[in-house]
Amino acid sequence: MQNENAIKAWIEEGSLDTVVVECHQPSGAVAPVIEFPVSYTTSGDGNAEFTASRARAARFRAKFDQVPTGTSHRLFCTFNGPRTPQPGWGPGHRASIDGLRGITFGTLGSAPHASTGMRYYHN
């Protein structure tokens, strides 16, 4: 709940740029890496956009990498300017995505003032 509260606060203040999930495999490989970029808008229609993107994601499901047992996940956020500090969050360093292939899925969901898409990086 701490992560969700921090992300919600950053969206509400308009400082959040991207939420990133890194999968750190037991072999040392970091893949897949999933980015959720945030766009701020004056209005949105979440239901129509979310449904269309789910259909796109379903077509690419077979391309998604399977992560091995023992894979750990790290969550990072990037920002487009100053932000309010949140409990449990501090500086960190993202792994490189050099050498990974990417697939971009348009808008996954939207709310009245923000929307998010998805970029999926894999081997």
The 10 Å Cβ neighbour count of residue 29 is 16
Residues 6+ apart with CB under 8 A from 18: 35, 36, 37, 38, 77, 78
**Structural domain that includes position 8:** 2-122
Per-residue pLDDT in tens (0 to 9) along the chain, 123 residues:
899 999 989 988 999 999 999 999 999 999 999 999 999 876 544 444 444 455 656 655 655 667 889 999 999 999 999 999 999 999 999 999 999 999 888 787 777 778 888 899 998
- Give the E-state strand segments of 25-113 in sequence order: 30-40, 72-79, 101-110
pLDDT the model gives residue 48: 43
pTM for this model (two decimals)? 0.82
Where are the alpha helices (H) located in the chain, listed in sequence order?
A: 2-13, 46-60
Q: Work out how many domains the chain is built from and give that number.
A: 1
Phi, psi of 85 (to 5 degrees): -60, 145
pLDDT the model gives residue 111: 76
- CATH number of the domain that residue 52 is part of: 3.30.900.10
CA within 13 Å, CB half, 41: 14
Dihedral of CA atoms 100, 105, 110, 114 in degrees, nearest 10, equals 40
